[in-house]
Amino acid sequence: MQRILSGIQPSGQLHIGNYFGMMKTMIANMETSDLYVFIVDLHALTSVQDRKKLSTGTLEAAADFLSLGLDPEKCTFWVQSDVPEVCELSWILSNMTPMGLLERCHSYKDKVTKGIAANHGLFAYPVLMAADILLYQSEIVPVGKDQKQHLEVARDIAIKFNNTFGETFVIPEPAISENTAIVPGLDGQKMSKSYDNTIPIFLDDKPLRKQVMAVQTDSTPVEEPKNPDTCNLYALLKLFAPKDKMKEVHDLYVNGGAAYGYLKQDLFELIRDYYADARARKKELLQNQDYLRDILQKGADKARGKASETLAVVRDRVGLRY
Ligand code: ADP
Ligand code: TRP
């Protein structure tokens, strides 16, 4: 079975981009792969420096995954910082990481442009991510397109390590779904917590409707034809509407008659119904935090077994023994 691994930062509310970019693929692979899913709280420290926010965000992220259908019996599911081996590997890999490789990372440059402090954690973020991936000998890493460059960094580091110390790491491949590589946000840019343009999955009906009504559209009159390919409302509808409904919507765009207000109401109802069961399950799970902690602890024990195996080999290869 292939080992598939991916993680999410507990840095804000889970949104539709996270779901279609990563989570859905992960959950779909549960039965047929050796699935590793984790909550990257160490990475979230680069943007969340608030004790309560980080710790409640971590439990929430666990409830998000479980409520959306992840079965902890069928995968390894844990919190990154519960396996401290990853920090040691990250340090070792840092010494195989040219500065230029990190200086070129768009994600780092974008975040600094947006005013996030350019500290060492933010700069070294891709090395810790490489350690996450390589520690578990991951073969496939499902992510949204924004993470593609980080995967390339992980591959470069693994290749350099293998060339220097002998075959040690599996070289990971990214898996990026064609249709959902970049889910657009309210403003048409990539939906992202850091752009404040998201539609969170677990909002209650009223705020959810408000958010969907805020999807930006152009001012073409109802009766005029519109281009579906450039409309973010259309792109979002396509994620949720059944094929026959989408055919009708497509015809309205192309021939005229698409009324944005009505289509937004449709989108609201589709999203509400799509996540209705998960929303109820999440509420229940959050009332049972000991259960969540227990699952994460068991997952961490499992992950740690694999992590220490890899780390023992790495320590030996580089000479961290005497
Ligand atoms: P955010 O950008 O909102 O902070 P994260 O960095 O926590 O999201 O991303 C978690 C996962 O969701 C990653 O695999 C990322 O590539 C994916 N993802 C995030 N936003 C989108 C999007 N708009 N479209 C597709 N995938 C996305
Ligand atoms: N950087 C990823 C993001 O922001 C999260 C992440 C950390 C990750 N470590 C990972 C994703 C390892 C996949 C594999 O979305």
Query: Which ligand sits closest to the CA of 9?
Result: 1
pLDDT averaged over 10-residue windows placed end to end, the chain, 322 residues: 96 95 94 97 94 97 97 98 98 97 94 88 97 98 94 98 98 91 93 91 97 95 93 96 96 94 97 97 97 98 98 98 90
Q: Looking at residue 194, what is its pLDDT?
A: 79
* Of 42, 41, 122, 150, the residue nearest 87 (C-alpha): 42
Cβ-contact 193, 161 below 8 angstroms = no
pTM of the model: 0.95
Give the active site residues: 111, 190, 193
- Nearest alpha carbon, ligand 1 atom 22: 17
Q: Looking at residue 177, what is its pLDDT?
A: 87
Q: Looking at residue 237, what is its pLDDT?
A: 97
Residue range(s) occupied by CATH 3.40.50.620 in the chain: 3-183+288-318
- Nearest alpha carbon, ligand 1 atom 19: 18
Cα separations in angstroms, 307 against 48, 247, 311, 316: 26, 48, 6, 14
Residue range(s) occupied by CATH 1.10.240.10 in the chain: 203-274
Q: Looking at residue 181, what is its pLDDT?
A: 85
Superfamily assignment of 203-274 in CATH? Tyrosyl-Transfer RNA Synthetase (1.10.240.10)
Q: Looking at residue 280, what is its pLDDT?
A: 96
Superfamily assignment of 3-183+288-318 in CATH? HUPs (3.40.50.620)
Q: Tell me the C-alpha distance between 25 and 44, whole Å.
A: 22
Q: Looking at residue 5, what is its pLDDT?
A: 98
CA of 192 to the centre of ligand 1 (A): 6
Q: Looking at residue 83, what is its pLDDT?
A: 98
